[in-house]
Amino acid sequence: MQMESHKLERLKMTETLFAFDVRNYQECQKAFRGQKSQEYYLGDYSIEAGSVIDVRADKKAVGSCSIIRLRSRTRLFFKRSWSHIREDATDVTVLWFVKRGTMSVSHPGGYSIARAGDFAITQSMTPFSMECQADEESRFEVLHLVVPTHVFRQSVRHDIATGFAVSGQARKFGIVERLLMDVFQEPEELAEHVEQLLLDSALAVLADALADCDHGAPARLTLADRRLRDVLRFVQVHLSDPRLSTTMVAAACGISPRYLSYLLKQSGTTFSALVWDQRLQVASRWLSCAQGRDISMAEIAFRVGFKSPAHFSRMFKRVFNKGPREYRAAFQGDVAHKAADPRVLAGINTLQ
pLDDT confidence of residue 291: 64
Higher pLDDT, 93 or 226: 93
55-62 β-sheet, strand order: 14-20, 55-62, 65-72, 140-148, 92-100, 118-123, 165-167
The answer, yes or no, to whether residue 194 has pLDDT greater than 80, is yes
Q: What's domain 223-339's superfamily in CATH?
A: Homeodomain-like (1.10.10.60)
- Kindly report the pTM of this predicted structure: 0.60
CATH number for domain 2-211, candidates 3.40.50.300, 3.50.90.10, 3.40.50.720, 2.60.120.10: 2.60.120.10
Find the mean pLDDT for residues 188-194.
Answer: 80
Q: What are phi and psi of 180, to 5 degrees?
A: -65, -40
pLDDT in tens, 290-302: 666 778 898 888 8
Percent of the chain with pLDDT over 70: 86
Find the mean pLDDT for residues 315-340.
Answer: 73
- Locate the domains of the chain by residue range: 2-211, 223-339
Q: Which range (6-20, 35-49, 80-94) has the least confidence?
A: 6-20
pLDDT confidence of residue 76: 94
Distance of CA 206 to the CA centre of its chain: 19
pLDDT confidence of residue 186: 76
* Separation between Cα atoms, residue 8 and residue 22, nearest integer Å: 32
Find the mean pLDDT for residues 79-104.
Answer: 91
Residue 74 backbone zone (phi > 0: left; psi -120 to 50: alpha; other: beta): beta
Confidence band of 351 (pLDDT split at 50, 70, 90) = very low
Residue 178 backbone zone (phi > 0: left; psi -120 to 50: alpha; other: beta): alpha
The answer, yes or no, to whether residue 79 has pLDDT greater than 80, is yes
Find the mean pLDDT for residues 234-241.
Answer: 86
pLDDT in tens, 130-174: 999 999 899 999 999 999 988 998 888 777 878 888 887 788 999
The answer, yes or no, to whether residue 219 has pLDDT greater than 90, is no
Q: Are 255 and 234 in contact (CB under 8 A)?
A: no
The answer, yes or no, to whether residue 245 has pLDDT greater than 90, is yes
The answer, yes or no, to whether residue 105 has pLDDT greater than 70, is yes
Compute CA distances 189 → 11, 184, 201, whole Å: 10, 11, 18
pLDDT confidence of residue 68: 96
Q: Are 190 and 137 in contact (CB under 8 A)?
A: no
Name 207's Cβ contacts closer than 8 Å, sequence gap at least 6: 155, 156, 157
pLDDT confidence of residue 65: 93
